[in-house]
Structure 1
């Protein structure tokens, strides 16, 4: 199966092409904004590097959040539009799920959500121990301590430094965004279903009074 993986939810824009689980091309750029302008050219370059036309794609995987409201909508819109044009399924993958798959054992995918909050999800041996959630840092620390039970977990994502103090010996893995290769791999292994954005909280922007 040939899969295009996309991530635009956090502080990076990442694209990858996988064939039967093997990465043929991967490109990632760190950026706080500008995903909309960079995503299509990056996808085109990735397909060219893989030596494939877009008509060879059999599936598209895209992160659905949590993360930047604008960023996740950019990825979803591009993925859905491309999928509709090609007639291939578009599969949504949680941002925290993709981050959690970057490490083994007990893993906390944690993203700094600002406003003294953290997007958090825990995994062990690839199995989710909790649903993705947005929590005050203090509550997230208590959740980590409860699930870690004295063990030394791995934290993946920008929120790790905010939580690692409650788990002695914890390993920190910095990540500006999800790895599109992992997004593609996860998308290849699940049933097709329309992707839906996962926001977890209301947007920071407010309409003028």
Structure 2
């Protein structure tokens, strides 16, 4: 099975082709302000590198976050558009799960894993995982200090993600990899609704009712 994997849940713009679980081409560029400009050129680049046409894809997997609103939308809208145009399934997966899967694939852990990424507003997104990769807790958004208070009860031996530094643990994978994204996708099941994991309300809100001007 040939799968296109995309993720824009972090400042990294990731596109990769995974054939039967093996990454055959990958492009990662980091610019938190240029997800929209970088993603499709990255898709075209990995297809060219692998000598693959888009029509040969069997599925698309996309990181559904948690992540900042604008960047996350770029990846998910692109994945949905490609799936619709090519008539192939699109699977949304938790981006933190994908990071954990990549860490576990590199070698067995002796305890639990913390995956933590930047949520902005002086907060982080995080989830905790067993040594085999099963999620124990989260995903959650809160301040780093609030997370530190939880650490003693999580029995952690390692951390991963873009905000993994600063928690006193050995640091592994930083961003979702194509192989990690595909590893946690239920490729042999019908895809569910493609829904982003924002974990909080966006800054933008509909305007309220206009105030009446007294005459």
- Which has the higher Rg, Structure 1 or Structure 2? 2
Choose 98-107 or 40-49, whichever is displaced more: 98-107
Q: Which of structures 1 and 2 has the larger relative contact order (alpha carbons within 8 angstroms, sep 6+)?
A: 1
Query: Is the 8 Å Cα contact of residues 64 and 94 (structure 2) preserved in structure 1?
Result: yes
Determine which of 127, 130, 134 is the counterpart of 1:121: 127
Match of 1:172 in 2: 171
Moved over 3 A (4+): 204-209
1:88 is paired with a residue of what secondary structure? coil
CA drift at 1:174: 5.9
Determine which of 181, 184, 193 is the counterpart of 1:183: 181
Question: What TM-score comes out, normalization by structure 2 length?
Answer: 0.85
2:137 is paired with a residue of what secondary structure? coil
Q: Within 2, Cα distance between the matches of 1:7 and 1:43?
A: 11
Q: Within 1, Cα distance between the matches of 2:17 and 2:186?
A: 11
Match of 2:159 in 1: 155
CA RMSD between the two structures: 1.9
Query: Is the 8 Å Cα contact of residues 5 and 16 (structure 1) preserved in structure 2?
Result: yes
Aligned residues: 200
User: Is 2:144 the partner of 1:140?
Assistant: no
CA drift at 1:195: 1.6
Q: Within 1, Cα distance between the matches of 2:173 and 2:83?
A: 31
Query: Which digits, 9 at most, give the CA deviation of each residue in 1:88-147, with x for residues without a partner?
Result: 000001111112223233211101323332211001111100131112222211222211
Query: Which digits, 9 at most, give the CA deviation of each residue in 1:53-92, with x for residues without a partner?
Result: 1111111000111112111100010000000011100000
